[in-house]
Structure 1
Amino acid sequence: MIHIAICDDESALVDSLKELIRQYGLEKSVEIKITVYYDGLELIEKYDTTIDLIFLDIQMKLLDGLRTAKQLRKLDEGVGIIFLTTLTQYGLEGYKYQALDYIIKPLKYARLKSELDRFLSRRQKEESPFIVVNNDSGKYKILLNSLRYVETFNRNLLFYSEQENIICYKSMKEVAQELAPHGFVRCHSGCLVNLSYVKGVKKLEISLITGETLTISQPKRKEFMEQLTEYWGDRL
């Protein structure tokens, strides 16, 4: 199933786009869930991390599409965004928020079909595993290929990702079990590191490709090195 969101303050356009998306789903035999938001602020406040693609109007009253996209990238760096606009220059500006494309209003089915075909093809090739993190400020979808390491922090966990550092209330044991199949290994009791970011290990210090360094405990070193060697061996 694909979860598509429409964020536009024009109800007539929303209804039209919903019908076109449903038509596409029937033609392609693809199950599509559609969620509608009538303003960027509503989308941000009620964001659902299961959303795969967002049709986002650029010109809205309370929170315009460009500012909405900027906030969206803090919540979900992987969700697809296609801007809806009447002015080409606004669509081009949207590319700095990693938008897939933009569609000039009024919408034509042929263009919509082309965009959805391209999105589905890319999704099949590039779909990345992720973890969903909840805390008091909201819910965040973190792609695992952007997560460098997880560290204990004031009785909670702190996720160090490319989008930002995010607090998580799960236990280290729970997160370690969840991420173990994806190349994450403990370097000490309070730190879980993504092996794809490891550049090298010297004595009790791990160097990451980002320039950061982490400590490895003596009791964990042997097991860590064995798993790192196995991980590198699979990729050499």
Structure 2
Amino acid sequence: MIKIAVCDDEEIMRSQLNNKIVAYMENTNCSSQVFLFSNAEELVESSTDYDIIFLDIQMEGMSGMEAARKIREAGGESYIVFITVLKEYVYDAFDVEATDYLLKPVEDERFMRAMDRILHYIEDKRTASLTVQKSTGYKIIRLTDIFYCEVINRKIYIYTKQGVIDYYNKIDELEKQLKSYFVRCHRSYLVNLQYVCGYENGIAQLENGNKIPISRSRQQDFIKAVLNYMKERKK
């Protein structure tokens, strides 16, 4: 079940988007539930964790951009698609890690391309995992739950949302098992670009507060990887 929120202060636009979503999901045989909001305050106060949010940038009261910031500050990981009449507003979307934007009036072909891409991200996010072999058995870890990995001596430490998992392995072998959004930023570290929120003076800042060193020899490659990752998410 994919949960989708539509937030727009124009009733006509809410209705049009709802119809497009319903038709698309029926066409792709995906189960979904659509929630409609007429203002950003109601969306932010909602306790539901949405997979996708279609969000008008300009609204009375709280703007869509402000709502997106609050959602991100609260730890929300929804795929946000901004709806706007003015293309120049879209440049601010990078600050809140928006996945896409649609110009009003929303074209069917552009809408379907955005949905195709997001559903691919959701499927990849739900299925991608790492199996860790331990002496007492094994553990399956979702890649999206991993902040970063560190090797100390012969042991790998995987820092996840649920805690730290350690096992014996080589970091070179682990790197081959991970997706392209994991980057070797240091001989001892692999970092998940999904959680990098800043970089300064050879240190990467992660959303969970951790700071990861970037070796001098890998700085240019790291910066390039971050920029490429951001571009891919905006396509």
Percent identity over the alignment is 26
Tell me the SS of whatever aligns to 2:168.
helix
TM-score (norm 2): 0.58
After superposition, the Cα gap between the structure-2 partners of 1:121 and 1:181, relative to the gap in structure 1 and judged at 3 Å, is closer
1:15 aligns with 2:25: no
User: 1:124, CA displacement in angstroms?
Assistant: 1.9
Give the count of matched residue pairs: 160
User: 1:77, CA displacement in angstroms?
Assistant: 4.3
Match of 1:154 in 2: none
Partner amino acid for 2:72?
Answer: R
Match of 2:135 in 1: none
Q: Is the 8 A contact 2:65 2:93 kept in 1?
A: yes
User: 1:25, CA displacement in angstroms?
Assistant: 1.3
Partner amino acid for 1:200?
Answer: I
Match of 1:182 in 2: 141
The 5-angstrom pairing of residues 87-102 of structure 1 reads 87-102=86-101
Match of 1:43 in 2: 43
2:103, 2:173 → 1: CA distance?
46
1:209, 1:230 → 2: CA distance?
11
* Dislocated runs of 4+, deviation >3 Å: 126-129, 180-183, 194-199, 230-234
User: 1:231, CA displacement in angstroms?
Assistant: 8.6
1:119 aligns with 2:118: yes
Tell me the SS of whatever aligns to 1:82.
strand
Match of 1:55 in 2: 54
TM-score (norm 1): 0.57
Q: Is the 8 A contact 1:195 1:231 kept in 2?
A: no
Q: Is the 8 A contact 1:53 1:81 kept in 2?
A: yes
CA RMSD of aligned residues (A): 3.5
Q: Flag structure 1 segments of 5+ consecutive residues without an equivalent.
A: 130-144, 146-179, 184-193, 211-223
Which structure has the larger Rg over C-alpha atoms?
A: 1
Tell me the SS of whatever aligns to 1:182.
strand
2:100, 2:172 → 1: CA distance?
39
Q: Is the 8 A contact 2:2 2:51 kept in 1?
A: yes
